[in-house]
Amino acid sequence: MQRQKRSFDFRRNMRMKKGMVLGLMAVVGMLWGSGLAWSQQQAPDTILFNGKIVTVDNHEVNEKIGTIAQALAIREGKVLAVGTDANVRRLAGANTKSIDLKGRTVLPGFIVTHDHPQDWNTLNEKIVRKVISDDQHIARYINVSPDEVLRQFPRVLEEAAQKAKPTPGKWIRIVLLYGKDYNPDWRDAISGYSGRQINKQMLDLAAPNNPVQVRWGFTGSILNQKGIEEVDKFFGEALKNFPPGATDRPFYTGNGYRYVEPGVIFTEDQITEVFRLGLSWYTGYGQTLNGTALYAPTTIRAYSKLDKRNQMAMRFAWSWFWPFRNDFFVDSYFTNAIVALLDSGSDHFWLDGIDPEHGGGCSVLPPTAAGRENNERSCSDMTYSLEAVTRALYEFVKAGGRMSGNHMIGDKEIDIMLDVIEKASKDAGMTPEEIREKRHISNHMAMYPRGDQIARYKNLGMMASGWDITWYDGGARNVMAVYGERGISQVVPRKALFAAGVMNNLENDRPIEYTDLTFFDIFYSALTHKDHNGTVYSPATVIDRQSQLKVTTLFGAYAGKKEKELGSLELGKWADLVVLDKDYLTVPIEEMRSIRVLMTMVGGKIEHLVPSLARETGLPPAGAQVELGGNSANW
């Protein structure tokens, strides 16, 4: 009897357990059947509902963007649930903040794999004025037509020099900008004044006892003699160690501002605050992750400080870059030390590779008759690319490193780059899978990759980022003039890359923060190939807006090696997202540029919120664009 009772109890317990399992399966089935995906049974911090949640959860290299839902729940900075309004709102607790989107579109946060906010922030007068006054250094901004620049510059220089004269050694900084529309004709004309109508001798005469920098509205700068002396004091003997041919007086002209501004003109506290506001400013465009090389040690230190203080409004994947000393990578200790540090950092700031290569615009394509001289000049001296740069890339890749970016323009130098990566990987004994796991990235796609190069990219598991704004600002027009239709078909060839199954990424690489341009101007450029004057180039290579969205979100996460953490609105990923006032997927293409970013979240935290939506939701406005009087302060 006792044995029969135990047997009966066992069967009864098994039936009860089976019933519980079936009941749980039924509940899960009802949840999935009703359109709810969830990760844990806890009350969310925030719920966004009554919207169009574009998750971009299709990870294939095609135009399919995946699931579109009505609502999304966030807990502890991550996506807790995605589904229908009814089922997501059911998760709300007493302390959950629920936001009615009123039909608005939500996209994953925008990811840029190559841009220079640390270069552009100091061009933003609103940011600089917030941080410094004339008591620290004299800053003047001129944003007028080229002819007007010539009329105004002498007067502005004289006023600034007189203001600084009582304080010998005080810096004077004059910035020449290119218009609210980043006018490429203004850029070409005003930058052409460097060393001619605006020159060192003029600056020396006006301010013999004060250092002066003139900074152009993209790249480029000049210093007066006093400025050169101040730079020499700061960098000292390091200036003598640059290899011949690597650069020409790097800190005094050209892109030397990348070292002079954060290291000499601004104090460390000042530049750190400039960068803090700059990161916040970019969230106003919907950007949540940026990738770039950090040039100066003071720049690396400033961002590191912000990270440790939890003051980074968006995420930042940075590359090691010291272009004038590629011989560093000949030292095996240095190279292996950098490789060992790859991927180290935090959720907001991490080292993802090196940027070892800087080349020119040499192409194997035959030039047009009008472009022959330009082509010969581009291909005349590739010594630097073939020697110092190639050696640096070879040593780093062989040691197991990752190229996370470079500055290559022409397809000829891409041939060299691919040869080096293939040889270094082979010499290191890497398997094909180990090579692909590196996800090497090249930047710009100014006129590459060719079809045969795309096949090599795929074989190596490489990606390429491209500056779609080149269609707008005259870059494509210049390629057309030198290489004709064949050359223009190689400009940012996203369509060919998609067809081959090769991921490609978004670049900005222009100082849009002092302009009225937004990321939707960049998208418009990508989707129309129109230049500043409305001329269309290479319409056959235009891609669709769904593909461009994947380029801007999910594929960027793969570039940062963070596809499991961000890039799409999937369960357990960081809630990096943007709320728009119009539907990106359906708005007429000619209205694309009018789309506004109303809110940006990074890790579930609101980093940008325009006044209109703030009033609607009962939340405080947020973000540097709003707080400092940018365009979105009026939205």
Shared domain check, 450 and 424: yes
With respect to residue 95, please indicate whether it lies within any of the assigned structural domains.
Answer: no
Q: In which domain, by residue range, is 140 found?
A: 133-265
Let me know if residue 420 belongs to a domain. Answer: yes
Omega before 449 cis (within 30°)? yes
Contact between 315 and 347 under an 8 Å Cβ cutoff? The reply is yes
On whether residue 358 sits in a domain, the answer given is yes
Question: How many residues belong to the chain?
Answer: 635
Q: How far apart are CA 511 and CA 531, in angstroms?
A: 17
DSSP type of residue 623: S
Report the CATH number at residue 511.
Answer: 3.20.20.140
Residue 232, CA distances (Å) to 212, 361, 402 in order: 14, 32, 33
- 341 shares a domain with 231: no
What pLDDT, on the 0 to 100 scale, is given for residue 236? 76
Shared domain check, 537 and 419: yes
d(CA 164, CA 148): 24
Q: Please list the residues that pair with 505 across neighbouring strands.
A: 465
Q: Tell me the C-alpha distance between 512 and 217, whole Å.
A: 10
Residues (pLDDT < 70) of the chain are: 1-41, 239-251, 322-327, 357-358, 381-389
Cα–Cα distance measured from residue 137 to residue 131, given in angstroms and rounded to the nearest whole number: 11
What three-state secondary structure class fits 560?
coil
Contact assessment for residue 307 and residue 333, using Cβ atoms and an 8 Å cutoff: no
Instruction: Verify that 234 and 289 share a domain, yes or no.
Output: no
Angle subtended by helix axes 372-379 and 475-488, to nearest 10:
100
* Cα radius of gyration rounded to whole Å, the chain: 27
- Tell me, what's the pLDDT at 28? 37
Q: Which amino acid is at 431?
A: T
Count of CA atoms in the C-beta half-sphere (13 A) of 85: 10
Burial 460-480 (b: 16+ CB within 10 A, else e): bbbbbbbbbbbbbbbbbbbbb
pLDDT value, residue 337: 93
Rounded to whole angstroms, the Cα distance separating 307 from 316 reads: 10
User: Apex CA 124: angle with CA 520 and CA 631, to 5°?
Assistant: 45
Together in a domain, 236 and 312: no
**What b/e string do you get for 435-445 counting C-beta neighbours within 10 Å, with b at 16 or more?**
bbebbbbbbbb
What's the rounded Cα separation, in Å, for the pair 103 and 474?
37
User: 210 and 345: one domain?
Assistant: no
Type of residue found at 620: P
142, 177 contact by CB (below 8 A): yes
**CA–CA separation, 373 and 365 (whole Å):** 14
**Is residue 125 domain-resident?**
no
User: What are the E-state strand segments in 190-326?
Assistant: 212-216, 221-223, 287-294, 315-320
Domain boundary among the residues 265, 287, 312 is at: 265
As a whole number of angstroms, the distance between CA 257 and CA 250 comes to 9
Domain boundary pick from 230, 265, 300: 265
SS (H, E, C) 158-181: HHHHHHHCCCCCCCEEEEECCCCC
- Cα 375 to Cα 243: distance, rounded to the nearest angstrom: 26
User: Is the residue at 26 inside a domain?
Assistant: no
Can you give the pLDDT at residue 42?
85
Output the pLDDT for position 237.
Answer: 72
d(CA 53, CA 41): 21
Tokens of 531: 């230049």
In a domain, 80, yes or no: no
Give yes or no: residues 579 and 432 share one domain: yes
Give every strand in the sheet of 46-49, ordered side by side.
Answer: 36-38, 78-83, 71-75, 46-49, 97-100
Q: Do 319 and 198 share a structural domain?
A: no
Give yes or no for a contact between 172 and 137, defined as CB atoms under 8 angstroms apart.
Answer: yes
Q: What three-state secondary structure class fits 323? A: helix
Structure tokens at 294: 């950090």
Residues 392 and 356 sit within 8 Å (Cβ to Cβ): yes
Distance CA 612, CA 621 (A): 9
Residue 72 in 3-state DSSP? Answer: strand
- Which of 576, 575, 619, 580 minimizes the C-alpha distance to 599? 580
548 and 406, same structural domain? yes
Domain ends where: 224, 246, 265?
265
The token duo for 461 is: 């598991």
**8 A C-beta contact, residue 46 and residue 91:** no
* Cα–Cα dist 541/40, whole Å: 44
144 in the same domain as 290: no
Name the one residue in this structure whose structure tokens are 């997202």. Answer: 577
Q: How far apart are CA 449 and CA 457, in angstroms?
A: 9
Report CA 28 to chain centroid distance, whole Å: 40
Task: Copy the structure tokens of residue 99.
Answer: 């936001």
User: What is the side-by-side strand order in the sheet with 441-442?
Assistant: 441-442, 463-466, 504-506
Q: How distant is the alpha carbon of residue 185 from its chain centre? A: 25
Residue at 41 is within a domain = no
The answer to whether residue 338 is domain-embedded is yes
Starting at the earlier edge strand, list the strands of the sheet with 221-223.
Answer: 138-142, 172-176, 212-216, 221-223
Are 356 and 491 part of one and the same domain? yes
Q: Which of 373, 366, 383, 362 is nearest to 446 (CA)?
A: 362
Q: How many domains does the chain have?
A: 2
d(CA 284, CA 278): 10
Residues 36, 301: Cα–Cα separation, whole Å:
44
Q: What is the DSSP string of 593-618?
A: GG--EEEEEETTEEEEE-HHHHHHHT
- How many secondary structure helices (H) and strands (E) does the chain include? 25, 22
Specify the DSSP class assigned to residue 44.
-
In the chain, what is the straight-line distance between the N-terminal and C-terminal CA atoms, in Å?
A: 81
Q: Residue 362: what pLDDT?
A: 87
Distance in angstroms (rounded) separating the CA atoms of residues 157 and 502: 50
Q: Are residues 291 and 260 in the same domain?
A: no
What sign does the CA torsion over 98, 101, 103, 109 have? negative
